[in-house]
A and B are shown apart, each in its own frame.
Chain A
Amino acid sequence: MFDKVIDDGTLRATPEGFSVGVRLPWYRSLPLSCISVNLLTCDGHAVPAEAITIHLNGRARQLSELVEEIEETWFITDTATLSVKGAPLASGSEHRIEAEIEVRPPYIKGLRRVGRVARMMKAA
């Protein structure tokens, strides 16, 4: 499960840059406040956190806003889309995408688990 953080076939070239779908590496839904996107890279270049918007539950947020959302959850079968400004990709080109998602299950103080994977993906 910890290597399932990138959703197959979700890399898209967008007018502003690119987007990719990510999954929650945990067995249950968690409050957004218990989740971080620690890393997103494209071809070895780390995307700055400020350039990433996360789309989930019909809303778009900056990564820094997640920690405030105590009531709202990420349901475990949902894909969250990370959209990136800058770093435009050509449609049909192949890229190595790496992502790390951290979960902090709130019933065990101090527990952190990370899911991380790198994949070769073709941009649609």
Chain B
Amino acid sequence: MDTTTASARIRTGATLYAYTNAFHQRRLGLEGLVREVARRGQGPGLEVVGFQSFRDFPDVSDDTAARFRDLVASTGLTLTCLGINSDTHVTPHRSRSTQELVDFHARQLRSAAKLGFPVVRCQYAAGPEVLRALAPLARDLDVRLGLEIHAPHTVDHPEILAFREMYAQVGSPYLGFIPDFGSSARAVPRRYIEYYRANGVPERAITAALELWSDDSDPFTKRPRYLEWAAANDIERSRALEIHTIFGLFSRQPPRNWLEIMPQVVHVHGKFYEVDDSGEEASIDYRAILATFVEGGYEGFISSEWEGHQVSDEDGFLDVDRHQAMIRGILAAS
């Protein structure tokens, strides 16, 4: 693959999720964030999480939509994806029915169209039947549905296979996938380990968690197995609950497994935690992953999705700079 082709096919972008701290801490509002992304050249792709950025979500008013479209047009950024949510388990005792979920997603899909997004990110909790029911509306609105494949899921997990089978039956170009690179991690990010250490998780509990994370057993069994181990080994439950989130945030899928769904990839979450001074992401092997996406012929955007805000107060802008420089460097050399 020659240099221009890989770099031209795969384009960088950012999701405002990467700057969650700046928004949560009220340092920048929606308009300020969008302008800052443009000013720093962290586009051209722009992704937004509906329930983060829009007060009236799952709906958006005509006025909100018009102002957002004007804002984006004034920056020259390109809208890539709107993160919508499959809010299923709304109380500890009540879950939305399939029809209620279809209606809830339809509102968000209409909001995406109104705001000008070509793709929405959906979550597995929707289940295949909800996305099947939404396919005609997606076609009418010309907004593609992208099921996010996020850790601990992998492309061959039964819950994802159920979507793949439904997609094969329906055969609609409006049904696709959004890989999240946290599914194909190679290590638990250093920042997380330091965070747990600083928050009173004992060293032996960290060691045991990392050993379990690194073994080849089913990632879906690791959370309960770890909690059992912690209870049997006198680890305070609140500390075990703190560190056991690593089993849900990062999975060890081999990067080449993404090839199985590559023709259906409609957008990508370039999940990352820390790009070091040498330009490497120690927890996610970007060289191997991007080589796979180049080989698979992916055309589209990769949103820089910094998630270090869970364990850090930084605003994310410097991290995204480093991440995009790394991606551009790898693509230019491929």
Contacts and interface: CB of A to CB of B under 8 A. Distances in A.
Contact of B85 (A4, A28, A76, A113): A28
Given A27-B49, A73-B51, A1 B310 contact: yes
A21 interface: no
A83 interface: no
Interface in B14-33: 17, 20-21, 23-26, 29
B184 to A, nearest CB: 20
Interface string A12-44: 000000000001000111110110000000000
Contacts of B125: 106-109
Q: Interface residues of B toward A: which range?
A: 20 to 34
B197 interface: no
Contacts of B57: 29, 73
A107 B85 contact: yes
B204 interface: no
B88 to A, nearest CB: 6
A110 B309 CA distance: 22
A34 B88 CA distance: 11
Interface residues of A, number: 27
Contact of B86 (A27, A33, A107, A110): A107
B87 A76 contact: no
A111 B152 CA distance: 13
Interface string A43-60: 000000000000000000
Q: Which of B25, B29, B86, B87: most chain A Cβ within 10 A?
A: B87
B319 to A, nearest CB: 15
B52 A106 contact: no
Interface string B95-125: 1000000000000000000000000000101
Contacts of A110: 89
9 contacts: A1-B310, A29-B51, A29-B55, A31-B87, A70-B90, A75-B55, A77-B24, A77-B29, A104-B89
Given A29-B52, A77-B24, A106-B90, 5 more contacts: A1-B310, A107-B86, A107-B89, A108-B89, A112-B241
